[in-house]
């Protein structure tokens, strides 16, 4: 019996070699028909024996190509027409529809073998790619994903590349960025020159996939110190690209898997040492990535050791995308520019992940991860603009949420422009006409003003959004307990929140427990000068390294009743880090807390306090410190006591499901102790995985709240 099926496939099926795969599959099963891309699903018609049609459908769903993610396959019967040949048709627009395109993918093993093989036509060619790897979102200007709509359109394929592109048996069949040394992009200088400069301790700006990066010898302290000075980044850890992470770090199986995944993110690994001391000062973790483009492979291999590979920007500005922009903004930092003539369509920083509490957790969602869609609840098309720090937006439609890439803190014009540029791009690429807008409750955030320009926004309280981001990720249904612990977010009562236990309801939330608010003497500056919080918490004499005169002024200010109040856990971390002598000032967000976590030495002790008794917890710690308890033990005790207090606060609600979010849960020790404690108490904890627990994940929660309205 002959039959014909019309099939539509949704999911990440563009830019992953899906059409050639369907072509080969249809031929293998002896089927006729066609396949084509659209701006919506991939469309297929196949005709042949019924049995063959069944096997074709089963293979399609069960054995897709490596980068594809199938979300939905629909088929319907059609009258047979007698076709026996199978063809790939031209793409077809479907106005208003949308598709997911694969994020950029790390160089595959086949392509790597080619660039390392002296007899291969692509030997040492830095732009080698195929349907299983290479640039995607960073070259796409518009959809459907076809070469004329990418930044590769200016390169005309040579005879040889075209033959590969048109040969269904070839790995490069319909590989849109296909290129070779005869026809593709070229570097602005020899890799050898860059390597020589790196060996001499110079700083080289490298044009990567989603923007410029700054590279230097990770083993050369002088070079690393110079990079820090020029980049105005005194202490924030620097990521390192290397071939053999196991030489410097302990790497668990799950971490290897993350390192070698097509997303090839920076993975925070337990660092054993061996590189320049100022790579990650005071921390026990190192951000490591493997080379993920042919250019990186050649650079790291020729150099023969680990290279610092950090975003090409001045601290907190967006990563540089255009050549002229890079020359201008990075001119004072880099000694040399290793550029090329393939334009970058969109800025994408490197993503950062960490394995903690039994799951891989995203800390910065960008290259290789965005814009992979997350399953989302039913909602009208919507946009959420996030908060202020680590900004990222979410656009959602048809049960999917696209969380945009990390852009940076919305403090300066450049970052705001980059944010708006990306938002416009996502709205266009996914044909989203937002009917609902969501933003933070804070009236002065730039993200709030951007939302107001788009319509009348739903204003979502910061910690409500944090907790909702976990509900969205894990498809949890309210009511549930939410624990939101971070540095700062505006509460509906006008005070600054940040140590909150909420009950998340279908519409809205109830605040059921929180840290007792303490004054922030000097306001926002407390996040940088953590010792001020030790004063606010009542520490009597100034910690070492703090000017006694300023200390006494701040103590007076804290007691004057003129300082804003905050229930922030981040600020309690600052106070304790100051008390322990671990950090008096922070040069990047969360530095004091990160150093306090790294300082923990044993299991610590448990001080039995409730979450609201943060003042008592601090004074008990101060008493122990006076008795000479070492900082490493104090730090551990602090984490253990806090985890216990959180578990107790959750238990009091009588609910079982707990969502943990907020930047403080990036702290592995706190997260793991809390999760363990909750499980022991018979509760069911969930935490962020695919979006950051920090403010980079907050737009997903805002979107969820707006969807439930």
Residues that bind Fe ion (CB under 5 A): 486, 695
Nearest residue (CB) to Fe ion, 349 versus 695:
695
Nearer to Zn ion, 132 or 415 (CB): 132
Minimum CB distance to Zn ion smaller for 292 or for 509: 292
For Fe ion, the closer CB: 473 or 486: 486
Q: How far is the CB of 486 from Fe ion (least distance, A)?
A: 4
* Residue 697 near residue 707 (C-beta atoms within 8 A): no
Q: How far is the CB of 416 from Fe ion (least distance, A)?
A: 19
Piece of 182-190, 352-360, 362-370, 512-520 that binds Zn ion (CB under 5 A): 182-190
Does residue 264 touch Zn ion according to CB under 5 A?
A: no
How many residues bind to Zn ion according to rule CB under 5 A?
10
Per CB under 5 A, which region of 129-137, 185-193, 382-390, 448-456 contacts Zn ion? 129-137
Element (H, E) at 687: strand 684-687
Using the rule CB under 5 A, give the single segment among 82-90, 97-105, 172-180, 464-472 that binds Zn ion.
172-180
Number of residues that make up the chain? 709
**SS3 (DSSP) at 325:** helix
Whether the upstream peptide bond of residue 371 has omega within 30° of 0, thus cis, is yes
| Piece of the chain touching Zn ion by CB under 5 A; list 64-72, 183-191, 389-397, 699-707 | 183-191
CB of 479 to Fe ion, least distance (A): 22
- Judged by beta carbon distances under 5 to 8 A according to partner kind, the member of Zn ion, Fe ion, none in contact with residue 189 is none
Q: Which stretch binds Zn ion (CB under 5 A): 36-44, 128-136, 273-281, 412-420?
A: 128-136
Listed residue (3, 162, 175, 178) closest to 78, CA to CA: 3
Q: Which does 486 bind (CB under 5 to 8 A by kind): Fe ion, Zn ion, none?
A: Fe ion
Residue 78 makes contact with Zn ion by CB under 5 A? no
Nearest residue (CB) to Fe ion, 216 versus 490? 490
DSSP secondary structure string for all residues of 155-212: SPPPHHHHHHHH-TTSTTTT-TT---TTTS--BSS-HHHHHHHHHTT--EEEE-SSSE
Cβ distance to Fe ion smaller for residue 12 or 614: 614
Residue 96, Cβ density class (10 Å: 0-12 exposed, 13-18 middle, ≥19 buried): exposed
Kindly state the helix (H) or strand (E) to which residue 661 belongs, with its residue range: strand 657-661
Q: What are the helix (H) ranges across 9-49?
A: 18-28
Q: Which of 61, 72, 182, 603 binds Zn ion (CB under 5 A)?
A: 182
Residue 266 touches which member of Zn ion, Fe ion, none, C-beta under 5-8 Å by kind = none
Q: On the CB side of 487, how many CA atoms lie within 13 Å of its CA? A: 25
106 binds Zn ion (CB under 5 A): no
End-to-end CA distance of the chain: 52
167 binds Zn ion (CB under 5 A): no
Residue with tokens 């040889």: 160
Q: What is the DSSP string of 227-259?
A: HHHHHT-SSS---EE-S-GGGTEE--HHHHHHH
Task: Select the binding partner of residue 108 from Fe ion, Zn ion, none (C-beta < 5 to 8 A, by kind).
Answer: Zn ion
User: With the C-alpha atoms ordered 51, 54, 56, 59, is the resulting torsion angle positive or negative?
Assistant: negative
3-class DSSP state for residue 481? strand
Q: In terms of CB distance, is 102 or 688 closer to Fe ion?
A: 688
Give the 3-state secondary structure of residue 25: helix
CA atoms within 13 A on the CB side of 222: 5
Distance between CA atoms of 263 and 290, rounded to whole angstroms?
Answer: 10
By CB under 5 A, is residue 161 in contact with Zn ion? yes
DSSP 389-425: TTB--EEEETTEEEEPPP-B-TTSHHHHHHHHHHHHH
Nearest distance, CB of residue 663 and Fe ion, angstroms: 6
Q: Which stretch binds Zn ion (CB under 5 A): 14-22, 181-189, 336-344, 474-482?
A: 181-189
Out of 22, 25, 35, 180, the residue judged to bind Zn ion by CB under 5 A:
180
Min CB(21)–Zn ion separation in Å: 14
- Residue selected from 130, 370, 565, 703 as contacting Zn ion according to rule CB under 5 A: 130
* Binds Zn ion (CB under 5 A): choice among 5, 57, 133, 344: 133
Q: How far is the CB of 388 from Fe ion (least distance, A)?
A: 9
Kindly state whether residue 108 participates in binding Zn ion, applying the rule CB under 5 A.
yes
Beta bridge mates, 12? 69, 100
Give CA–CA dist 130/164, Å, rounded: 10
Q: Which residues make beta-bridge pairs with 5?
A: 46, 77
Which one of 70, 78, 88, 158 is in contact with Zn ion (CB under 5 A)?
158
Closest separation in Å from C-beta 111 to Zn ion: 3
In DSSP terms, which residues pair with 87 in a beta bridge? 34
Q: What gap in Å lies between CA 355 and CA 666, rounded to an integer?
A: 10
| Tokens read off for 341 | 């003539």
3-state secondary structure of 383: strand
Alpha-carbon 570 to chain mean position = 21
Q: Please choose which of Zn ion, Fe ion, none residue 180 contacts, taking the beta carbon within 5 to 8 angstroms, the exact cut-off set by kind.
A: Zn ion
The answer to the question of residue 183 lying near Zn ion (CB under 5 A) is yes
CB of 56 to Zn ion, least distance (A): 26
Which of 386, 457 has the CB closer to Fe ion?
386
Closest to Zn ion by CB, 108 or 533: 108
Closer residue to Zn ion (CB): 158 or 189: 158
Q: Which is nearer to Zn ion, 175 or 275 (CB)?
A: 175
Q: Judged by CB, which is closer to Zn ion: 329, or 342?
A: 342
* Segment contacting Zn ion by CB under 5 A, of 6-14, 175-183, 344-352, 663-671: 175-183
Pick the closer one to Fe ion by CB: 217 or 695: 695
Q: In what order do the strands lie in the sheet with 394-397?
A: 374-375, 400-403, 394-397, 382-384, 436-440, 458-460
Distance in Å, CB of 115 to Zn ion, minimum: 10
In the complex, the smallest distance separating the C-beta of residue 153 from Zn ion, rounded to whole angstroms, is 15
Residue burial 399-429, b: 16+ Cβ < 10 Å; e: rest: ebbbbbbbbbbbeeebbbebbbebbebbbeb
Using the rule CB under 5 A, is 191 a contact of Zn ion?
no
Q: By beta-carbon distance, which residue lies closest to Fe ion?
A: 486
What's the closest the beta carbon of residue 484 comes to Fe ion, in angstroms?
Answer: 7
Q: Which is nearer to Zn ion, 184 or 677 (CB)?
A: 184
Strands (E), 212-351: 212-217, 240-241, 249-250, 266-271, 285-289, 307-311, 336-338
Q: Residues in the site for Zn ion, rule: CB under 5 A? A: 108, 111, 130, 132-133, 158, 161, 180, 182-183
């Amino acid at each position: 019996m002959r039959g014909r099926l019309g099939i539509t496939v949704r999911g990440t099926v563009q830019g992953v070699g899906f059409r050639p795969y369907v072509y080969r599959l249809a031929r293998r099963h002896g089927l006729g028909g066609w396949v084509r891309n659209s701006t919506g699903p991939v469309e297929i018609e196949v005709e042949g024996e019924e049995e063959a049609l069944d096997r074709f459908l089963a293979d399609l769903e069960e054995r897709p190509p490596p980068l594809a993610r199938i979300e939905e396959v629909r088929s319907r019967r059609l009258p047979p027409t007698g076709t026996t040949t199978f063809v790939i048709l031209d793409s077809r627009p479907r106005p208003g529809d949308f598709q997911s395109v694969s994020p950029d993918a790390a160089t595959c093993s086949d392509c790597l073998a080619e660039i390392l093989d002296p007899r291969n036509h692509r030997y040492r060619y830095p732009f080698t790619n195929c349907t299983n790897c290479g640039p995607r979102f960073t070259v796409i200007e518009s959809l459907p994903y076809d070469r004329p709509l990418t930044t590769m359109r200016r390169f005309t394929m040579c005879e040889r590349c075209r033959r590969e592109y048109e040969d269904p048996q070839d790995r490069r069949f319909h590989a849109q960025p296909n290129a070779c040394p005869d026809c593709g992009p070229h570097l602005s200088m020899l890799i050898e020159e860059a390597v020589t400069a790196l060996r001499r301790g110079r700083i080289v700006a490298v044009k990567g996939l989603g923007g410029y990066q700054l590279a230097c010898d990770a083993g050369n302290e002088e070079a690393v110190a110079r990079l820090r000075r020029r980049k105005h980044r005194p202490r924030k850890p620097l990521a390192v690209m290397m071939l053999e992470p196991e030489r410097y770090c302990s790497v668990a199986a799950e971490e290897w898997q993350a390192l070698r995944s097509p997303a090839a993110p920076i993975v925070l690994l337990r660092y054993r040492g061996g590189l320049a001391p100022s790579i990650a000062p005071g921390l026990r973790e190192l951000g490591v990535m493997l080379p993920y483009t042919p250019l990186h492979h050649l650079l790291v291999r020729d150099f023969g050791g680990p290279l610092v590979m950090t975003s090409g920007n001045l601290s907190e500005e967006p990563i540089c995308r255009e050549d002229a922009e890079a020359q201008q903004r990075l001119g004072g930092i880099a000694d040399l520019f290793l550029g090329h003539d393939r334009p970058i369509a969109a800025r994408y920083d490197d993503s950062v992940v960490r394995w903690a509490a039994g799951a891989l957790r995203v800390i910065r969602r960008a290259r290789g991860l965005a814009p992979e869609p997350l399953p989302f609840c039913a909602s009208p098309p919507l946009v959420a603009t996030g908060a202020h720090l680590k900004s990222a937006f979410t656009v959602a439609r048809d049960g999917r949420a696209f969380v945009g890439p990390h852009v940076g803190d919305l403090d300066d014009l450049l970052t705001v422009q980059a944010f708006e540029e990306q938002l416009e791009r996502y709205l266009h690429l996914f044909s989203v006409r937002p009917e609902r807008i969501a933003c933070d409750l804070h009236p002065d955030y730039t993200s709030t003003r951007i939302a107001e320009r788009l319509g009348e926004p739903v204003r979502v309280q910061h910690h409500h959004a944090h907790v909702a981001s976990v509900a969205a990720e894990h498809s949890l249904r309210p009511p549930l307990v939410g624990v939101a612990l971070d540095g700062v977010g505006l509460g509906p009562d006008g005070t600054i929140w940040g140590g909150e236990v909420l009950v998340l309801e279908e519409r809205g939330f109830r605040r059921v427990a929180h840290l007792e608010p303490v004054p922030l003497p000097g306001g926002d500056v407390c996040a940088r000068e953590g010792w001020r919080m030790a004063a606010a918490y009542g520490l009597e004499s100034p910690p070492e390294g703090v000017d006694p005169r300023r200390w006494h002024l701040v103590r007076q200010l804290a007691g004057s009743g003129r300082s804003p109040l905050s229930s922030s856990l981040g600020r309690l971390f600052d106070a304790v880090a100051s008390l322990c002598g671990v950090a008096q000032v922070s040069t990047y967000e969360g530095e004091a807390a990160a150093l306090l976590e790294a300082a923990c030495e044993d299991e610590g002790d448990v001080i039995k306090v409730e979450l609201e008794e943060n003042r008592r917890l601090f004074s008990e710690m101060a008493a122990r410190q006076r008795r000479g308890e070492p900082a490493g033990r104090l730090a551990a005790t602090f984490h253990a006591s806090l985890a216990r207090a959180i578990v107790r606060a959750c238990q009091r609600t009588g609910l079982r499901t707990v969502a943990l979010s907020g930047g403080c849960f990036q702290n592995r020790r706190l997260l793991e102790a809390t999760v363990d404690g909750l499980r022991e108490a018979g509760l069911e904890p969930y935490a962020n995985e695919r979006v950051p627990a920090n403010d980079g994940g907050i737009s997903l929660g805002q979107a969820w709240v707006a969807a439930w309205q």
